[in-house]
Amino acid sequence: MHVALFPLHTVLFPDGVLPLRVFEARYLDMVRDCLKNDLPFGVCLIRRGSEVGTPAHIEDVGCLASIIGWDMQQLGVLNLRTLGIQRFRVRDQHREANALLIGDVEVIAPDNDHDLSPAHAPCADLLRRVIDDLSAQRAQAEASALDANPFNAPYRLNSSVWVGNRLCEVLQVPLKAKQKLMELDDASARLDIVTKYLRQHSVFK
């Protein structure tokens, strides 16, 4: 599978919402092609380099993103609302003449999902509070439709995969740590790490 790759200083998880502002010509062309042909693009964490200008070096594992909303309130600047679909591993990559990075990628099978165990129930309670707080803040700020809701409904608060991924997105940890959490193939192991971290920081007992 060949997809256009978007190097960013962020880690996208499956089912995660990622607002983007696109203004570089190579990415405007990428978005136009994705919208025209109903194609996803790949989001990869930058290992070395920057989001603009000189092409960056990226991590080998990223997440496919689907465009679920867009507008252009300012000429030449495209606002996107994207949704993480599925993880992938980059097998090979090359740069087009316009410096757009194209990856030969292998899709990674989704994590096995199951109901939350009692040990992970506090994670769901915490996430519910986070969702309520963020939604209230966005409502007060009169955010645009593209970024009004930081989470995509339905809220699967009994899903080990969904709860783990959403908490990883909001945790105040280094991006390298988020990348390692995203790469894990075991939802329970991911939640175990998140639970241990939150207990260590006295978020819950």
Nearest to 105 by CA among 161, 68, 58: 58
Of 79, 107, 135, the position where a domain reaches its end is 107
pLDDT above 70 covers a percentage of the chain that reads 93
For the ranges 67-81, 136-150, 178-192, the one whose mean pLDDT is highest: 178-192
Structure tokens at 123: 């994670």
DSSP 8-state symbol, 128 = H
- What phi and psi, each to the nearest 5 degrees, are found at residue 34? -65, -45
Structure tokens at 14: 């499956």
Give yes or no: residues 157 and 62 share one domain. Answer: no
Q: What is the pLDDT of residues 125-163, one digit of tens each?
A: 999 998 888 777 766 665 565 665 678 888 999 999 999
DSSP 8-state symbol, 146 = T
Q: Which domain holds residue 150?
A: 118-200
Structure tokens at 138: 């966005």
Give yes or no: residues 63 and 141 share one domain. Answer: no
Count of domains in the chain?
2
Give yes or no: residues 77 and 122 share one domain. Answer: no
Mapping DSSP to helix (H, G, I), strand (E, B) and coil, where does residue 69 land? strand
Q: Any idea what the CATH number is for the domain that residue 17 is in?
A: 2.30.130.40
Give yes or no: residues 13 and 95 share one domain. Answer: yes
Residue 205 placed within a domain: no
Q: What is the pLDDT of residues 100-131, one digit of tens each?
A: 999 999 999 999 999 999 999 999 999 999 88
Give yes or no: residues 42 and 92 share one domain. Answer: yes
Give yes or no: residues 74 and 139 share one domain. Answer: no
Supply the pLDDT for residue 164: 96
Give yes or no: residues 151 and 97 share one domain. Answer: no
Give the residue, 204 or 119, on which the prediction is more confident: 119
Positive or negative, the CA dihedral 108, 113, 116, 122 is positive
Give yes or no: residues 128 and 80 share one domain. Answer: no
Of 107, 126, 156, the position where a domain reaches its end is 107
DSSP 8-state symbol, 53 = S
Give yes or no: residues 174 and 139 share one domain. Answer: yes
Q: Any idea what the CATH number is for the domain that residue 129 is in?
A: 1.10.4060.10
Please, are residues 183 and 168 in contact by the beta-carbon 8 Å criterion? no
Residue 113 placed within a domain: no
Give yes or no: residues 122 and 78 share one domain. Answer: no
Residue 144 placed within a domain: yes
Give the pLDDT mean for 80-100.
95
State if pTM tops 0.75.
Answer: yes
Identity of residue 178? K
54 pLDDT higher than 60: yes
Give yes or no: residues 132 and 74 share one domain. Answer: no
Residue 159 placed within a domain: yes
Of 61, 83, 107, the position where a domain reaches its end is 107
State the DSSP H helix or E strand holding residue 66, giving kind and residue range, or none if neither. strand 61-74
